[in-house]
């Protein structure tokens, strides 16, 4: 009987020892499991903020004397904390800014415009009207009429000249350079220099042979007036002086003739412009008034500068 009780006691002790060993082993295994790391922002709520026009400095702490980590550019968007933090010693107020994966710093509240703001004693979170206003200011652009553009123009002109009381005309391809907008803080102007290489076809009628060679240049400066304008569309009228220069060489019965002429006149223009990004497309009809009168129709592709 005693032997039986001793065996039973030893069996119970062995069971307890095994149970304790299993518990200790499980606890040790749990301790060896890696704990998840918190992200840079942790569970802190964040928001979008826009950097003010003067740029912003990211500090390592909410302290103006702390190390500078990074400089932010004007109009740059960053993610900041929902609530501001008081600066060390009561100097200033800072937002925590998350500028790289796993990294953060502090930026003073006067250098960014947050999307939300806290109002009232209970610090209710509301939309920041200054954020929307600042975004609208950043997206606003000068009207087309007051924006400077430079580009290329191509079109056709019904060029004409008078000889011995008769008027001769030809349709010629023209292309050249064009500038529009204010010049040196002055009124908006439309300046174009257009040229055609080759002599007009009617010279073959005059000489009874080939039309010869040469070129003519049409240069004018117009004062423009807007008659209709939206954010990306513009219709204008313009008027200004015209300078025409022509130089032609031809052969008549084995004799070479060299003709050069400068003529002054005026131009009147009606045009439409459409803006897309930094670029501008223009379509224009222009009336030339000098010794003869003729029209041109052109298209221009221009870039803001």
In a domain, 255, yes or no: yes
User: Domain containing 227 — which CATH number?
Assistant: 2.40.160.20
In a domain, 287, yes or no: yes
Instruction: With cut-offs at 50, 70 and 90, classify the pLDDT of residue 182.
Output: very high
Identify whether residues 122 and 154 lie together within a single domain.
Answer: no
Q: Which residue has the higher pLDDT, 210 or 53?
A: 53
**Region for 184 from its dihedrals, namely left if φ exceeds 0, alpha if ψ lies in -120 to 50, beta otherwise:** left
Per the structure, the count of domains in the chain is 2
Average of per-residue pLDDT values in the chain: 83
pLDDT score for 12: 55
Question: Per residue in 110-139, pLDDT tens?
Answer: 999 999 887 766 777 888 888 877 766 666
CB 102 within 8 A of CB 39: yes
pTM of the model: 0.57
CB 246 within 8 A of CB 265: no
Question: Per residue in 183-241, pLDDT tens?
Answer: 877 899 999 999 999 888 887 776 666 667 899 999 999 999 999 999 899 999 999 99
Query: Of 38, 293, 297, whose CA–CA distance to 155 is shortest?
Result: 297
Identify whether residues 106 and 180 lie together within a single domain.
Answer: no
Q: Which of 8-12, 37-41, 148-152 has the lowest mean pLDDT?
A: 37-41
pLDDT score for 122: 72
- Here the contacts of 291-295 (C-beta below 8 Å, separation 24 or greater) are 291/161, 291/162, 291/263, 291/265, 292/160, 292/161, 292/162, 292/167, 293/160, 294/157, 294/158, 294/159, 294/160, 294/169, 295/157, 295/158
Identify whether residues 52 and 194 lie together within a single domain.
Answer: no
In a domain, 10, yes or no: no
In a domain, 20, yes or no: no
> Using alpha carbons only, how large is the chain's radius of gyration in Å?
40
pLDDT score for 210: 63
Identify whether residues 279 and 187 lie together within a single domain.
Answer: yes
Q: Whose structure tokens read 């990306």?
A: 232
Task: Give the separation between CA 200 and CA 168, rounded to whole angstroms.
Answer: 9
In a domain, 33, yes or no: no
Identify whether residues 135 and 150 lie together within a single domain.
Answer: no
Question: Per residue in 241-252, pLDDT tens?
Answer: 999 999 988 776
Identify whether residues 161 and 177 lie together within a single domain.
Answer: yes
């Amino acid at each position: 009987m005693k032997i039986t009780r001793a065996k039973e006691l030893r069996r119970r002790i062995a069971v307890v020892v095994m149970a304790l060993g299993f518990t200790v082993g499980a606890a040790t295994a749990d301790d060896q499991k890696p704990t998840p790391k918190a992200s840079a922002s942790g569970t802190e709520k964040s928001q979008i903020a826009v950097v003010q026009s003067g740029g912003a400095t990211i500090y390592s702490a909410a302290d103006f004397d702390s190390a500078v980590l990074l400089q932010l550019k004007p109009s740059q968007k960053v993610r900041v904390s929902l609530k501001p933090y008081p600066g060390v010693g009561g100097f200033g107020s800072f937002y925590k800014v998350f500028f790289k994966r796993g990294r953060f710093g502090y930026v003073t509240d006067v250098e960014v415009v947050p999307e939300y703001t806290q109002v009232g004693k209970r610090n209710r979170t509301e939309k920041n009207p200054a954020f929307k206003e600042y975004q609208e200011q950043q997206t606003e652009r000068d009207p087309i009429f007051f924006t400077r553009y430079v580009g290329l123009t191509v079109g056709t002109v019904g060029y004409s000249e008078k000889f011995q009381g008769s008027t001769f005309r030809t349709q010629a391809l023209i292309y050249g350079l064009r500038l529009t907008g204010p010049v040196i803080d002055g009124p908006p102007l439309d300046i174009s220099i257009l040229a055609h290489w080759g002599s007009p076809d009617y010279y073959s009628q005059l000489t009874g042979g080939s039309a010869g060679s040469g070129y003519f240049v049409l240069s004018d400066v117009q004062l423009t007036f807007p008659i209709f304008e939206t954010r990306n569309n513009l219709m204008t009228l313009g008027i200004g002086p015209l300078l025409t220069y022509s130089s032609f060489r031809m052969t008549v019965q084995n004799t070479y003739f060299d003709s050069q002429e400068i003529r002054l006149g005026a131009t009147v223009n009606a045009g439409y412009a459409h803006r897309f990004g930094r670029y501008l497309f223009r379509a224009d009809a222009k009336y030339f008034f000098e010794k003869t009168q003729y029209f041109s129709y052109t298209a221009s592709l221009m870039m803001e500068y």
